[in-house]
Amino acid sequence: MLEETARTFIEDQIGYPFKNKDLLRQAFVRRSYSEENGGENNEVLEFIGDKALDFSVIRLLSKKYGRMANGDCVDPVKLSVQFIPLCPQQPDADITNEFLCDCNEGQLSTLKQKLVSKRTLAERVDNLGLADYLILGNGDIQNSIAEEDSVKEDLFEALLGAVALDCGWNFDTIFATAEIMLNPEQFLAEEKKDNYVGLIQDWVQMKTGNIPLYHFEKANYRSTWYFPFKGISQTFCVLGSREAEEVQYHCLLKISNELPIFRGFGRSKAEARMAVCKLAYEYLEKENLCFSIRDEIENPNKAEAISQLEILARRGYFSIPTYDFKQTYDRNGNPIWKCVCRIAEQERDFCSVSSSKKDAKKTAAFKMLQYVLDKEE
């Protein structure tokens, strides 16, 4: 069995308390360990979790971008039965309440691929602090296998598979846990600056080198409007309000030993987490504790300029840079490369010319990097 402190940490981070603790442990057991010590490993759980994740992501995308033709949201419990005419100009036409979506099949496929990619799942395992609890055989330990993205991807899927079995395939529970583990706001937020979960994640990593610590609780918020709390809490309702009736969860967040605990509320665990992260980030802004764009890059330099721009883009300062190349030749027939670096939100483009395509890209990226850093100042 995993130690109790480890189990509690994992359950808090994913927002799901296991009834069968053996399933939780199994999700972390690699085949290398079971071959050396006996018992079961996480490979079948990984298979189950892969399917549960697909279902959860499709449901998430259909809820975010889809709606019924009469304007209702897609209710996971009961779809609306209010029909509308297929052709409003023809009263006698057949009536329908079809499913409409703001994204086409190709766009949904692209979003799904991003959400379930190996890199995304591995990054989420890192952000949740789960990889440290992998149970490995001696060979895997010697080869540092726990650092590989594929192993972290397996762990993500195995843990979700364990949740699916433990809850008896309760799809609402599976979906809620997948939403917490996946943090889809990273890709689906209307603006990167609104992804408060990601902003808090980055702040904690830069400040302490650790990860944010979450704890979720469900309670009845209709009968009372005040909960004694030694920290900073979101205020969300008054006695008997409709808002109080809709709230089901609160989430506690710890980001630093020097700062208070934060508490937020929501209709779902994911909503409560977003609320508490927004509360915490607004506190950091008020107290002038947020990092500037210059704090993100320790040593701006030409050699790493391409990756440094991508880091800033992933952290929401601007969109991913694009590079356009044009090749010409000098009098002696030697190639000359021109590279233009563009960022959608920036007013200026930056160009570089070199006999090396790679050098032209690096130079253009470095010029853009210096520009965005100086502009922030």
pLDDT in tens, 29-59: 999 999 999 999 999 999 999 999 999 999 9
Comma-separated ranges of CATH 3.30.160.20 domains in the chain: 189-286, 293-376
Comma-separated ranges of CATH 1.10.1520.10 domains in the chain: 4-187
Distance, CA of 82 to CA of 71 (rounded, Å): 10
Say if CB 11 and CB 25 are below 8 A apart.
no
pLDDT of residue 235: 77
List 12, 157, 202, 271, catalytic entry: 157
List 22, 50, 126, 304, catalytic entry: 50
The set of long-range contacts for 280-289, using a CB threshold of 8 Å and a minimum separation of 24, is 280/196, 280/200, 280/232, 280/253, 280/255, 281/196, 281/199, 281/200, 281/203, 283/232, 283/259, 284/203
pLDDT of residue 170: 96
Active site residue 376: no
pLDDT of residue 97: 77
Q: Domain 293-376 belongs to what topology? A: Double Stranded RNA Binding Domain (3.30.160)
pLDDT of residue 79: 40
Q: Which residue has the tokens 């996946």?
A: 182
pLDDT of 86-116, one tens digit each?
444 555 445 577 888 888 898 899 999 999 9
Q: Domain 189-286 belongs to what topology? A: Double Stranded RNA Binding Domain (3.30.160)
Quick check: 314 pLDDT over 60? yes
pLDDT of residue 86: 45
pTM for the full predicted model: 0.73
pLDDT of 187-246, one tens digit each?
776 555 678 998 899 899 888 889 999 999 987 776 554 567 789 998 765 444 566 667
Share of the chain above pLDDT 90, in %: 61
Higher pLDDT, residue 125 or 92:
125
Say if CB 206 and CB 49 are below 8 A apart.
no
CATH architecture of the domain with range 4-187: Orthogonal Bundle (1.10)
pLDDT of 5-27, one tens digit each?
999 999 999 999 999 999 999 99
Active site residue 157: yes
